[in-house]
Amino acid sequence: MEASVQEKYDYIVIGGGVVGAMIARWLSRYEGRLLLIEKEADIGMGCSSANTAIVHAGYDPLPGSLKALMNVRANPMWDQLAGELNFPFERRGDYVVAIGEEELPLVEKLLQQGIQNGVPGMMMIDAGEMRSRERDINPDVSGALWATTGGICDPFQVTVAAAENAVINGATVLLNTKFEDFIWEGNRVIGVKTNRGDFYARWVINSAGIYSDAVMHKAGVRPEFIIKPRKGEYFIFDRAEVQIHNVLFPVPSSRGKGILVTGTLHENTIVGPNGNVIDDKEDTSMTKEGMDELLDGAKKLIPSLNLRHSIANFVGLRPMGNGPCYTPGINYNNDYVIEVPSSVQGFVNLGGIESPGLTSAPAIAEMVVDLMKDAGEEFVAKKDWDPIRPGRPRYAHMTHQERKLLCDMDPRYARVICRCENVTEGEIVAEIHAPVPAHTYDAIKRRTWLGTGRCQAGFDMTRVVAILARELGVSPFEITKRGQGSEYLYRTTKDVEVANVN
């Protein structure tokens, strides 16, 4: 995992979100030294960890756009990915629900758009069929588009799995490593300057998410391209109180796909997102106005939803760009940018990879490598490349017999640390020492789902801090929630008592 300053690589990927991780995995197929740098304390801490976890069918993007092409190309890749990388994935299909007769033509238009995009397995279902599939649906439902190829995943595990597979195949991942500038030789990028030193490479790939505009501007590319964060707020509902299995979209608007209600792989229900364009790329605050908007939008689909059953909320910032449409002549200025600019050698530029970015990630990675080939890069495939990222035991998903065998082999799996989600000490320790290690509380949370139940870490947090300190050989005062500046402990109770006496 560690690399010294001024090391030389063949390929450097800037940004450890799901797209950057998929690019790193794809590049790890080939001979050459590969480095992925991420400015945060863990990978996948941006929009890759704050979304609705949906693998989209591909009917929503504008025909001819790169969004549509990448979405439809990537969707069938997910079954093989899930098998190779050992992350959970289910093709539940998804529904775009028409409420009232006036919305039916809009849904039927989406069906035609999906056909134009080449999406298979779509059909219209009537109101009675929709009611039979979702008992709590609005009684005013008039019909729905059912897209059978839609799916759900765990985006945290997807990102980690792709990055770990890259590491297994020889890549290096450097966390807490912030891009600052490029190193040049004429008009060729030959490396990057970071807060941890200089790193040299023959190719640098910009996959910096919401900050991809700043990175490309450092390269003198697309000065007119601007990322405007589209703020998406979400609620998570208690699975004991709200049971929604399906993925339910409203009719989309100009602001996005709308506020949906969806089940998850963890059996919770998620409501969101809204889509307010803001200026601050660090504003992940939940607002009263946003809460009201979410609940009003969700109740249009599921009127029985009660905010009292919400156990958590979160905010994601989608990197909305102003890239022109991939297909010339189409008036659309919100497309993906995926290119090897002619003005800069040794540089691959990505920008505006918002929804359906999670879905599109494997196809984007494939396209990046193809563009590099077109630009003259001669890849040599590794003879020993391993597509498999081994899975790790998940106590909550095991039978009693499987649990007994596991606990007999390693007693740490017999100690349950998170009672809401049945996460054990053995699982936590495994993540701390994984190929892409989890060294913060939130990093372990994203990988194991601990702390996400009703008590919201009330029981497990102190125990996890102690385990982290023990395994890392550091003081508990050094353990953080999400990186430097988020330390849990300030001083001991005894110190406070002494200070009060004095």
- The Cα–Cα gap between 240 and 60 comes to 32
For 91-150+231-316, which CATH superfamily applies? D-Amino Acid Oxidase, subunit A, domain 2 (3.30.9.10)
| Pair 151, 15: CB distance under 8 Å | no
The partner residues of 247 in beta bridges, in order of sequence, read 262
Q: What is the pLDDT of residue 210?
A: 98
Q: What is the pLDDT of residue 497?
A: 61
- The Cα–Cα gap between 262 and 187 comes to 48
- Residue 362: strand, helix, or coil: helix
- The Cα–Cα gap between 159 and 43 comes to 7
- The Cα–Cα gap between 269 and 456 comes to 16
- The Cα–Cα gap between 38 and 33 comes to 17
**Number of Cβ within a 10 Å radius of residue 415:** 13
Residue 246: left (phi > 0), alpha (psi -120 to 50), or beta?
Answer: beta
- The Cα–Cα gap between 167 and 160 comes to 10
Q: What is the pLDDT of residue 456?
A: 87
- Short-list 232, 160, 53, 90, CA closest to 446: 160
The partner residues of 323 in beta bridges, in order of sequence, read 335
State which H helix or E strand residue 440 sits in: none
Pairing of strands 203-206, 347-351: parallel
**R_g over Cα of the chain:** 23
Q: Does domain 1-90+151-227+321-391 have CATH number 3.50.50.60?
A: yes
Entry field: residues in the chain: 502
* Token couple for 444: 């372990």
- Residue 380: strand, helix, or coil: coil
Give catalytic residue positions: 56
Q: What is the pLDDT of residue 253?
A: 74
* Token couple for 346: 């040794």
Q: Is the dihedral of CA 481, 389, 356, 214 positive or negative?
A: positive
- CA 397, distance to chain mean position in Å, is 22
- The DSSP secondary structure of 279-305, one letter per residue, reads S-TT-----HHHHHHHHHHHHHH-TT-
Residue 142: left (phi > 0), alpha (psi -120 to 50), or beta?
Answer: alpha
- Short-list 421, 431, 82, CA closest to 268: 421
**Number of Cβ within a 10 Å radius of residue 115:** 13
- The Cα–Cα gap between 387 and 165 comes to 7
> 15: Cβ–Cβ under 8 A, 6 or more apart, which residues?
36, 37, 38, 206, 207, 208, 209, 211, 212
Q: Is the dihedral of CA 175, 180, 183, 189 positive or negative?
A: positive
- The Cα–Cα gap between 469 and 463 comes to 10
pTM equals: 0.96
How many CA atoms lie within 13 Å of 470's alpha carbon, on the beta-carbon side? 9
Please state the three-class secondary structure of 225-252 as a single string: CCCEEEEEEEEEECCCCCCCCCEEECCC
How many CA atoms lie within 13 Å of 145's alpha carbon, on the beta-carbon side? 29
- The Cα–Cα gap between 478 and 490 comes to 10
The partner residues of 248 in beta bridges, in order of sequence, read 95, 261
Domain residue extents for the chain: 1-90+151-227+321-391, 91-150+231-316, 395-493
pLDDT by residue, tens only, the chain of 502 residues:
455 456 899 999 999 999 999 999 999 999 999 999 999 999 999 999 999 999 999 999 999 999 999 999 999 999 999 999 999 999 999 999 999 999 999 999 999 999 999 999 999 999 999 999 999 999 999 999 999 999 999 999 999 999 999 999 999 999 999 999 999 999 999 999 999 999 999 999 999 999 999 999 999 999 999 999 999 999 999 998 999 999 999 998 766 788 999 999 999 999 999 999 999 999 999 999 999 999 999 999 999 999 999 999 999 999 999 999 999 999 999 999 999 999 999 999 999 999 999 999 999 999 999 999 999 999 999 999 999 999 999 999 999 999 999 999 999 999 999 999 999 999 999 999 999 999 999 999 999 999 998 888 888 999 999 999 999 999 999 999 999 999 999 887 777 565 565 5
* Alpha helix stretches (DSSP H) within 38-87: 66-74, 78-85
What are the Cα distances from residue 21, in Å, to 15, 164, 209?
8, 9, 12
State which H helix or E strand residue 180 sits in: strand 179-185
